[in-house]
Structure 1
Amino acid sequence: MSPKRGRPYNLEIGTALRQAAERVMSEGGFSSLTIDGLVNEVGTTRPSFYRRYRNVAHLAFDVIQHRFGTQPHSAGTSLAKDLLQLQRDEVAMFADPLVRNNLPGLLESMRTDSHVRELYLEGFIKPRRANVMCVLNAAIDRGEVQGSDVDLNWICDLLLSPVLTRALLPTPGGLNDELARRTADLALRELTSNTFAT
């Protein structure tokens, strides 16, 4: 007698949950995201949800990653152009309602849930820092930057912090191309300054 098997894993349910979550996140934000609401909309069950996600924060992260997953960046012909492109991509992501309307809830989940924090570090921080490092390595090869002077963490902080501040706080200016240009220029000046310190 063959062993009894459970119901086959249905990939369509995962896709439907992600699509439903994206709609809720875009319209109502993270606080509107509930397991019962999602499974009722999709026509599935709570056990089916938990087979795919630990909680709604994990699903929300999956939604963000599917929309804005980072691809490896190919360095261009100059550090200035590469930094500007990186920043334009970041500003566009943080300006999107899917990120901006859910960022406070996602950050709180990262603070309280080590699994979500690890997903964020592995899925967003590391790939984006790898892209910055790709740009910097190309600039070092071209002689634009002295390799021994580069502090990758500090440069990444310079690039991200103003964007994150404007995404979270009602400050003047907003998330726009001027912000991308000014933050890219700030990082460029730091990298090419003779006083840059590790």
Structure 2
Amino acid sequence: MSERGRPRSADIDAAIIDAATELLIERGFSKLTVEDVIVRAGTSRPAFYRRYSGIVELLPKVLEHRLGSAPNIDTGTLEDDLRALIEAAAAVCADPLVATRAAGFLSIASRDPEHGLGVRERFIAPWRDTFDLALERARARGEITGRIPSGYLFDIAIGPLLSRTLLPGAPPPDLEFVQQVLEAAITFTAPRLSR
């Protein structure tokens, strides 16, 4: 949104994000309205629209604020990097906002490509890049040879976690499951490991 008029208040910014996060967890995206957010945030419609064109534009900010950015992990070994990344991703999947609303986020992204792109660029792409960086570091250390296409390791590691998060009745990813995902990721990289 454009920055016109008086300066924006950081307190109002935070109140809008916090209100939207709470309401998303409580009700889900389909039942979230601008009116609900401004009432919960204790602000006004103009204050909201100075910041966002609507609820869909607010979503990437909510995810960023709630879940942070992708971690920058460099433990010195590919296996430990992957373990730390997969554990961090499992923690994201276990967050109540993701655990209860991930399917809705994906639905929004598929229905509204422009705003889905915002979620992909601001939230998903940095995670994918972090997995690729772990591979680049492993290659520079001589741990792996050959080429693993960009994004493949992310897909192999995150796919099972998302499956557990999205499928109704599936148990959340626990430590045993995280270990199984790690083993699958290591198995995927094994043909390329330096011997």
Q: For the residues of structure 2 that align with 1:16 and 1:194, how far apart are their CA atoms?
A: 48
Shift of 1:71: 4.4
> For the pair shown, which has the larger CA radius of gyration, 1 or 2?
1
Q: Counterpart amino acid of 2:168?
A: P
Output the CA distance in 2 between the equivalents of 1:179 and 1:58. Answer: 34
C-alpha separation between the residues in 2 aligned to 1:126 and 1:38? Answer: 28
Residues 1-198 of structure 1 mapped to structure 2, 5 A cutoff: 6-146=5-145, 148-193=146-191
SS in 1 for 2:80: helix
Give the C-alpha shift of residue 74 in structure 1.
3.1
How far 1:45 moved relative to its partner?
2.4
Alignment CA distance shift 1:16-1:149 (3 Å): same
Matched-pair contact (CA < 8 Å) for 1:110–1:116: yes
Structure 1 unaligned regions, length at least 5? none
Q: Give the length in aligned residue pairs.
A: 190
Task: Give the partner amino acid of 1:43.
Answer: G
- TM-score w.r.t. the length of structure 2 is 0.87
Question: How much does 1:96 deviate?
Answer: 1.0
Contact 2:19 2:41 in 1 (8 A): yes
TM-score, normalising length from structure 1? 0.86
How many angstroms does 1:7 deviate by?
4.0
Over 4 Å off, 4+ runs: none
Structure 2 gap ranges (5+): none
Query: One-letter code of the match for 2:14?
Result: T
Question: RMSD of the TM alignment (CA)?
Answer: 2.1
Identity of aligned residues (%): 32
Distance 1:12 1:181, change over 3 A: same
Deviation (angstroms), 1:126: 2.1
